[in-house]
Structure 1
Amino acid sequence: MALPLHGVRVLDLTDGLGESAGRFLADLGADVVRIECPGGSASRTAPPLRNGVSIPFALRNANKRGIVLDLDDDAGRDRLRDLASHADILVESLAPGYLAERGVGAADLCRVNPELVAVSVSGFGQDGPYREWASTEQVLYALSGGLSRSGEPGMAPLLPPTGPADESVGVHTAWSALLAYYDRLHTGRGQTVDISAFEVLVHGFDPGFGVQGSAAAGRSEDFPRGRPDAANFYPVFRCADGQVRIALLAKRQWRAMFEWLGEPAEFADSKFDTIPARFAASDRLNPLIEELFSTYTRDRLVAEGARRGIPIGGVSTVSEVLETEHFAVSGTFVDTEIAPGVSARVPSGYATIAGARAGIRTRAPGLGEHTDEVLGAVPADAAPVAAPRHEVGTRPFEGLRVLDMGVVVFGAELGRQFADYGADVIKIENAAFPDGLRQSKRGSALAASVAWGHRNRRSLGVNLRDPEGIRIFEKLVAEADIVLANFKPGTLASMGLSYDRLTAINPRIIVSESSAFGSVGPWNTRLGYGPLVRAACGVSAMWRYSDTSDGLCDGSTVYPDHIAGQVAATVVLAALVERLRTGTGTEIEVAQADTAIVQLGTILAAESLEPGSIHAPGNSDPYRAPSGVFACAGDDEWCVVTVRDDADWTRLCAVVGRPELADDPRFATTELRIRHRAEADEVLAGWLALRSPTEAMETLQASGVPAGAMVRLPELLTDPQLVARGAYTELEHEMLPAALPTAKQVAHFSTLPDWPLRQAPLSGQQTREICEEILGLSSAEIDSLVREGVLQPAAGDPALEEAASSTV
């Protein structure tokens, strides 16, 4: 299989943070050379380990070649400069300033090779007051605002399972690197890119000021101090042999559930067709559902839900996920060698391209395994790429046209990536089947999620259930570059818009389809929402206080919708790179379930190698102590602290005024501190209880100990690091009562401009404009199509009013 990034040369100097970016680029076909110091990367010993192998290192470095360079040696630095002179992309995640101090920083290497894209990834970015702070996945999650929304009311906030946050940083890094490279192909100039993992989590993982899921209609719009009671957003019920989750969002779904319950009189009122009314009555409604479900098995409930059109999903443990038939058939998992002599069942990769999985092909390299091969080769000149020329500083997607059929969070996030960077993104809408984001709980007012998610687009209202509507769409395809959709598998084909049909119209078209579970396997027709994906993939089972806890605490998150959209955008961008070489498009498929499983891959692979070893850890990091979420002075105030190693423990003991404990034999090693976790945690807990989260965080960070206060959403807008880096701006819309805080940027590019903030269109607002400009239709032709119900311009269009008056 010819992968889209074949021929792209990447140097990977990451260590832990950002490693999965190179893996993603390698999956897509890039030649990724992993560069390590003589003693090997610290991530080679990152837990969990099985058979002496670091599972995260093995997964995040598959498909790469590995070499050793000593960057404290002149010869090593010269070799790096030589490699950089022939490379396209460099990704590094060493401490800010580490490479620059040695004369081989990002800017230095871009001077060696002006076409190089040099990406620096760090916990907090290359500047700002937190620049030197230590970070861990848990610390970043606390600071991102996510922790304040996680956990059960009245209990400590709960950390999510490890993996998804770090892996999301890798996805954003791969996207940003490829975006700058695509820009270079058009401008001839590389650039530096600064990525803060903190900002990725704030803006791109599960943003508090970003597109929200359908259940947002039932949430309070203020910012309560305690955890939201998220159990009723997507409730979980016990059944005869486990647990299931239900997602009653659409009116038709509720009506089917009402019928299944025997049409109880107390819920017959039409007000219960709305999400807020059902949420408000959950104390009476949920017991009825639980009683009904109690006699059914999990599989029977899922099947009966599918028959009735009710979204129900089973809650699977990680061991069950590994044995799920659907994931075996779909190619989500492969049994493969991940280190010499060590094989495991592991996630293959994020995407399918032209019908083949772009996933794991070779195991992670041994230390220096390819040094002679890489350093001894004479680099060939890169094949020229014929790309239209752009001026430096323009938006990389200018001149591209995208037909965006995407809906809800995933669709909004995917299309926005191209709209923000200059593409003409045309949102295809049908008033009879509105995007879920447009179904506001505030009557005619615009939903904030529409303003966030649909900005910078144009909207075309067209009825694709009408043959004439299909013909109009096909004419647009002839002039387009990309088609995006996230319907149930087979929907486009059933409309006569299969990939074969679209590529016959336009061989250059790139078609990206996404769904919950993909088009292959027994679950391919399942109704899919993010909460059901999380439940099916093991995320929900790991996101609770313990294995025996009934409460699943992932109800308030939108994961994996945002990051799955980013995954799809990255694969589409890789296909655009390939199209510059070949002139032809391709077909892409991304299943949201595959995104969740890849990002939970370390946990799943560890369980496959040692069945029964993985449990829901709650707030305790099973591989480090002390660690977790600790109460601070004040009402519902918390701080996350992670002691990574013996050096952190020594520093912590000095900070809390107990230096003698650094020599206490009970705490001499990480293993011993884990064995005496309660005592080690108490050393920290007593000190934190007397301090505010901010004071504690700043004191610990000043000593090099990773710590992060639990930040509530409004506090993000005044966070010193985010303010210093210009992380937020305001988004206005004529139909909103006030401006919305919104991301100004995620990655910081040295030459790409900030995103524009053109307001989101009303449904069908540019219908006439698009039909005149692209299709060349006359006003009379458009009027006729409007009267026939084929075209759907925005309310107030004269032809709409004429059609309405003719029916009176």
Structure 2
Amino acid sequence: MTHGLDYPLSGISVVDLVRGPMASITRYLAELGARVDRIDEPGSAMDAVEALVANVGKQHHRIDLMSAAAQTLIDNAHIIVADSDQPIDLAALQRERPELVTMTVSDFGCNTAMTNWKGSGPVLHALSGELSRSGIRGREPLLPPGDLAYQCAASQAAYTLVTGLYRALKTGVGDHFDFSALDGAVQALDPGYGVNGSATMGKPANLLARARPAAGFQYPVLKCADGHVRLCLLAKRQWRGMFRWMGEPAAFASPEFDKMIVRYKSPELLPAIGAFFADMTREEIEAGGQKFGVPVSAILTFEESIDTDHVRDRNAITSLGTPDGRVAKVPNGMLCIDGLRTGLGAEGEAQAFRPPERSSDSGQPFEGLKVLDLGVIVVGAEQGRLLGDQGADVLKVESRAYPDGNRQSYLKYGMSVSFAAGHRNKRSLGINLRDPEGRKLFLELAAQADVILSNFKPGTMESLGLDYETVSAINPRIVMVDSSAFGATGPWSGRMGYGPLVRAATGLALAWRYPDDPEGFCDSVTIYPDHVAGRVGAMGAVALLIRRLRTGRGGTASVAQSEVMLSHFAADVARVSLGLPTGTPSDHPYGVYPAAGDDEWCVVVVDGDQSWRGFCEAIGFSAGEGLTTPAARLAAREGIDAALTAWLASRTPLEAATALQTHGVAAAPMLRLADLPDFAYYRDRNFYRTESHPYLPEDFLVERRHVTGRATVDAETRPAPLAGEHSSEVIAEWLGLPAETLSRLEETGVIEGVDPREWKAIEDTIAPSEQGRA
């Protein structure tokens, strides 16, 4: 950790009783300065590399959970996190100490039809809908690399814990969370119901094609002299830059190519760009992209990524000693606080935490908080929504001159199912920040605010005169959070911030392809890490609010999406640095297999001798009795897979998975997004709810709550705003300005209301029977 930083969670004590990949939940808290005491009972074990990256920064105790030493740690904890099968009643502890925050962690939560199912990363991908969108049309679905589902779930759990802690410190009311890894993966990885963007390719989830996307769809990967590059030609100006770079070829001079759909459908354009790039190196192409304003990135390996000047400049990778005396490279944390990297390793200096005078509790941890949300696209939407869902007054600050890309819609007034789900529980303030009076007005609002969120290109807030130094001079309690693709500093800080380019530059795109097809890149329709980066940013905001309870002052949190991604693949980065292989085991059935039906698939993961015996019993594989060693099973792998495929051919994916789970084998049907709402698990968890919007002709689905908790209430249901819908209202509330002043500000364009033409478009769009909702 960095010397001289007042860590947000300094003085907070956490007890960690979680095994496996979800142990990384409390690593986030350790990075933010909490003391995390990990109790590993004698005899417990975990993969050495996974343990290294999941548990760095924690205090380790090899003691019996029932010992006096363990009890002392538990008695002094603010937070206790444990696997659901640990012999400790967390709910009872929370009842005895109402201010305590506890969490039970499992794959499928408590009291569902799947509570006793066995989970794994592939199983979570199958049941979340992610697997159905990964791969290339005409081929089998492709499992995403690494422990991505678990790592995203861990981020959701960590955000939940700091939120529960903030509420407990303010009100004396803690909570007991029943955290399901599947719930977390569905929300934080790439949700189909929310700000879904490319996750549903611009369509409602239930209208997605059953097949996976075509090769090269949307964000093409092209060969060059020394590897591959990825191209993102989205905006008209970006295409014009590419056109100039290519020497303005007559074949593509038509103004029709300014339209993205025309470029996508052109059979000649991509081959022409590919030929143009063919003799250039990745470095030359990136330099040309910078010169002509074309979003492009080299496709890098993990090894290349962690050795770039940018990563070194940001101190984003550090070295850790392994138990066997070697040195591994690992990602050095996800957040910068007050301009300093929190990082991994030593504890921050402990600070005595004296709880403030407690306030009343409404069940909403952020009730009374005022948030100015300048965020755009997915990360920006998620950060503000997370706070608004739990009671904060979130003002979405926007402008007609620079509209949020999420406002793009077939409707003329900038509303869609995606926007409605992703921006619920916000109000909209239309304001011209480039007008001196608009900037002055914003600073007056900032003086009243608790949190300011943004995710512009680094330097934008400074150019507007709205940087932390300026705002904190008038409001020392302000918390400001910024998010960007590659961080606010370093050689890549000015790069275009698209997720596909981040995945290319960090090694993920190269890892997410078919093993037998070097050109089979399969990450083009995910919008990872946008949703999870939004949660990391919100976590930073809440952690600083917790520090503000102790110190009375605010601070800054900065998130680089590239570093979130690297941290999620920390085990792979460490293995690469140690010369160890990455990937999945091959001596047992592990992967995606065809089942009965049209393009229907079942995930099967056999992970040890006991699981192997259950697998053989489930499918009636008598030949398996002689395959008692991994080497023997590896040699017979072709026959094993043939037996499994034959058994699956007469069973639906759910029938097959249920039979395998009965025998202790991790298995799951591949669900498509449209399957999720009616699947038994999600009904048992009461996970989704249907909402309506006064300016939409259709209802839509959203997650009901962020987590299942004893004292947690459902998210608010205030509809997402039209651009500028509440401008006069919120300024009058926050600043008390009179009506005549508000009228003048709107007449001069300093603040913006809803265009009257948009009201007319709403009337024309919504059927008369539906207009009563408006």
TM-score, normalised relative to structure 2:
0.93
Q: CA, structure 1 residues 249+220, in 2 after alignment: closer, same or farther (shift >3 Å)?
A: farther
| Deviation, structure 1 residue 256 | 2.0
1:555 paired with 2:524, answer yes
| Deviation, structure 1 residue 257 | 2.2
Contact map agreement 2:121 2:148 (CA 8 A) in 1: no
Picking from 18, 29, 33, the partner of 1:14 is 18
Match of 2:331 in 1: 347
Q: CA, structure 1 residues 444+796, in 2 after alignment: closer, same or farther (shift >3 Å)?
A: closer
Question: CA offsets per residue over residues 656-697 of structure 1, 9 Å max, x none?
Answer: 1124513x2xx3234553454434333322322231111100
Query: What secondary structure sits across from 1:151 in the alignment?
Result: coil
Structure 1 Cα separation of the partners of residues 203 and 279 of structure 2: 31
Match of 2:240 in 1: 255
Match of 1:84 in 2: 74
Q: CA, structure 1 residues 672+574, in 2 after alignment: closer, same or farther (shift >3 Å)?
A: farther
Structure 1 Cα separation of the partners of residues 92 and 474 of structure 2: 47
Structure 2 Cα separation of the partners of residues 90 and 443 of structure 1: 49
Identity within the alignment, %: 41
| Deviation, structure 1 residue 115 | 2.0
1:650 paired with 2:613, answer yes
Mapping of residues 234-249 of structure 1, within 5 Å:
234-249=219-234
Q: CA, structure 1 residues 547+599, in 2 after alignment: closer, same or farther (shift >3 Å)?
A: farther
Contact map agreement 1:33 1:64 (CA 8 A) in 2: yes
Q: What is the identity, as a one-letter code, of the residue corresponding to 2:356?
A: A
Query: What secondary structure sits across from 2:563 in the alignment?
Result: helix
Q: What is the identity, as a one-letter code, of the residue corresponding to 2:340?
A: A
Q: What is the identity, as a one-letter code, of the residue corresponding to 2:431?
A: V
Question: CA offsets per residue over residues 308-328 of structure 1, 9 Å max, x none?
Answer: 111111111122112112111
| Deviation, structure 1 residue 219 | 5.9
1:156 paired with 2:140, answer yes
Contact map agreement 2:334 2:343 (CA 8 A) in 1: yes
Structure 2 Cα separation of the partners of residues 702 and 387 of structure 1: 52
Contact map agreement 1:322 1:608 (CA 8 A) in 2: no
Structure 2 Cα separation of the partners of residues 529 and 198 of structure 1: 26
Picking from 182, 186, 200, the partner of 2:170 is 186
| Deviation, structure 1 residue 481 | 0.8
Structure 1 Cα separation of the partners of residues 683 and 198 of structure 2: 30
Question: CA offsets per residue over residues 32-75 of structure 1, 9 Å max, x none?
Answer: 1111221024xx2x2xxxxxxx111101001111113434xxx5
Picking from 184, 188, 207, the partner of 1:204 is 188
Query: What secondary structure sits across from 1:461 in the alignment?
Result: strand
Question: CA offsets per residue over residues 99-126 of structure 1, 9 Å max, x none?
Answer: 3xxxx21112223433211101110101
Match of 1:542 in 2: 511
Picking from 689, 705, 726, the partner of 1:745 is 705
Picking from 575, 578, 585, the partner of 1:606 is 575
Query: What secondary structure sits across from 2:20 in the alignment?
Result: coil
Match of 1:358 in 2: 342
Question: CA offsets per residue over residues 135-193 of structure 1, 9 Å max, x none?
Answer: 00111101111111110100000011012221111111111111111111122122210
Question: CA offsets per residue over residues 610-659 of structure 1, 9 Å max, x none?
Answer: 07x44xx5xxx236621011111121111111111110001101111124
1:223 paired with 2:184, answer no
Picking from 388, 393, 409, the partner of 1:424 is 393
Match of 2:694 in 1: 734
Match of 1:716 in 2: 676
Contact map agreement 1:38 1:68 (CA 8 A) in 2: yes
Contact map agreement 2:692 2:699 (CA 8 A) in 1: yes
Structure 2 Cα separation of the partners of residues 305 and 786 of structure 1: 40
Query: What secondary structure sits across from 1:231 in the alignment?
Result: coil
| Deviation, structure 1 residue 417 | 0.9
Match of 2:52 in 1: 58
| Deviation, structure 1 residue 240 | 1.5
Match of 2:771 in 1: none
Query: Relative to structure 2, which stretch is displaced further, 788-797 or 213-222?
Result: 213-222
Q: CA, structure 1 residues 339+584, in 2 after alignment: closer, same or farther (shift >3 Å)?
A: farther
1:566 paired with 2:529, answer no
Structure 2 Cα separation of the partners of residues 219 and 40 of structure 1: 47
Structure 2 Cα separation of the partners of residues 571 and 251 of structure 1: 35
Q: CA, structure 1 residues 592+445, in 2 after alignment: closer, same or farther (shift >3 Å)?
A: closer
1:639 paired with 2:639, answer no
| Deviation, structure 1 residue 213 | 3.1
Q: CA, structure 1 residues 166+525, in 2 after alignment: closer, same or farther (shift >3 Å)?
A: same
Structure 1 Cα separation of the partners of residues 435 and 586 of structure 2: 58
Match of 1:793 in 2: 753
Structure 2 Cα separation of the partners of residues 215 and 272 of structure 1: 25
Query: What secondary structure sits across from 2:753 in the alignment?
Result: coil
| Deviation, structure 1 residue 387 | 4.5
| Deviation, structure 1 residue 552 | 0.7
Q: What is the identity, as a one-letter code, of the residue corresponding to 1:482?
A: V
Picking from 43, 55, 64, the partner of 1:39 is 43
Query: What secondary structure sits across from 1:232 in the alignment?
Result: coil
Q: What is the identity, as a one-letter code, of the residue corresponding to 2:53?
A: L
Match of 1:385 in 2: 355
RMSD: 2.2
| Deviation, structure 1 residue 290 | 1.1
Contact map agreement 2:10 2:351 (CA 8 A) in 1: no
Structure 1 Cα separation of the partners of residues 520 and 573 of structure 2: 22
Structure 1 Cα separation of the partners of residues 390 and 693 of structure 2: 20
Match of 1:372 in 2: none
Q: CA, structure 1 residues 387+432, in 2 after alignment: closer, same or farther (shift >3 Å)?
A: farther
Match of 2:121 in 1: 137
Contact map agreement 1:218 1:233 (CA 8 A) in 2: no
Q: CA, structure 1 residues 466+671, in 2 after alignment: closer, same or farther (shift >3 Å)?
A: farther
Structure 2 Cα separation of the partners of residues 92 and 187 of structure 1: 24
Match of 1:763 in 2: 723
| Deviation, structure 1 residue 777 | 2.1
Structure 1 Cα separation of the partners of residues 607 and 514 of structure 2: 22
Q: CA, structure 1 residues 387+517, in 2 after alignment: closer, same or farther (shift >3 Å)?
A: farther
Structure 2 Cα separation of the partners of residues 264 and 404 of structure 1: 43
Query: Relative to structure 2, which stretch is displaced further, 777-786 or 6-15?
Result: 777-786
Match of 2:763 in 1: none
| Deviation, structure 1 residue 217 | 6.3
Q: What is the identity, as a one-letter code, of the residue corresponding to 2:8?
A: P
1:70 paired with 2:61, answer no
Q: What is the identity, as a one-letter code, of the residue corresponding to 2:37?
A: V
TM-score, normalised relative to structure 1:
0.89
| Deviation, structure 1 residue 764 | 0.6
Match of 1:803 in 2: none
Query: Relative to structure 2, which stretch is displaced further, 294-303 or 471-480?
Result: 294-303
Contact map agreement 2:378 2:531 (CA 8 A) in 1: yes
Match of 1:450 in 2: 419
| Deviation, structure 1 residue 266 | 5.5
| Deviation, structure 1 residue 351 | 0.5
Contact map agreement 1:62 1:338 (CA 8 A) in 2: no
Question: CA offsets per residue over residues 253-312 of structure 1, 9 Å max, x none?
Answer: 12222333444555445444333333233x332112112211221111111112211111
Mapping of residues 671-710 of structure 1, within 5 Å:
672-674=632-634, 676-710=636-670
Query: What secondary structure sits across from 1:774 in the alignment?
Result: helix
Q: How many residues align?
A: 752
1:320 paired with 2:310, answer no
Match of 2:740 in 1: 780
Query: What secondary structure sits across from 2:341 in the alignment?
Result: strand
Q: What is the identity, as a one-letter code, of the residue corresponding to 1:635?
A: D
Question: CA offsets per residue over residues 216-252 of structure 1, 9 Å max, x none?
Answer: 6666872222112262211111111111111122222
Query: What secondary structure sits across from 2:102 in the alignment?
Result: strand
Structure 2 Cα separation of the partners of residues 448 and 717 of structure 1: 16
